[in-house]
Amino acid sequence: AQKITQTQPGMFVQEKEAVTLDCTYDTSDQSYGLFWYKQPSSGEMIFLIYQGSYDEQNATEGRYSLNFQKARKSANLVISASQLGDSAMYFCAMVFYGNNRLAFGKGNQVVVIP
């Protein structure tokens, strides 16, 4: 069975610093997509970034980048120049191309301090 692991405890980050959120996954599938979602205190789930398993370059979306290491089965999210509005829960997720099933890690809490 596929499994996604996010093990870091809650993190405090200084404003304007970078933060890396770890995500490892376990699957025997060769074709899959990796995602990160942000959930602020208001509760909605906001899509941040996507990486396909066959993409050779790491995905980047503004201040978000995904450090994809396929051999290690890791997909870490890097947020550069943290802002107060980045305080949220962050979820790593996978979709499996065979059936489009979406699976999630348990999330990382990030608090940005001024």
Partner 1 sequence: EAQVTQNPRYLITVTGKKLTVTCSQNMNHEYMSWYRQDPGLGLRQIYYSMNVEVTDKGDVPEGYKVSRKEKRNFPLILESPSPNQTSLYFCASSSWTGGTFGSGTRLTVV
Site residues, partner 1 (CB under 8 A): 33, 35, 37, 43-45, 47, 50, 91, 93, 95, 97, 99-107
Q: Kindly tell me which of 44 and 56 has the beta carbon lying closer to partner 1.
A: 44
> Do 47 and 59 meet the contact criterion of CB atoms below 8 Å apart?
no
Compute the least distance from the CB of residue 40 to partner 1, in Å: 12
Concatenate the DSSP letters of all residues of 33-70 into one string. Answer: EEEEEEE-TT---EEEEEEETT--SPPEETTEEEEEET
In angstroms, the Cα distances linking 69 to 31, 51, 57, 84 are 14, 11, 10, 29
Compute the least distance from the CB of residue 114 to partner 1, in Å: 26
Q: Kindly tell me which of 44 and 114 has the beta carbon lying closer to partner 1.
A: 44
Compute the least distance from the CB of residue 7 to partner 1, in Å: 12
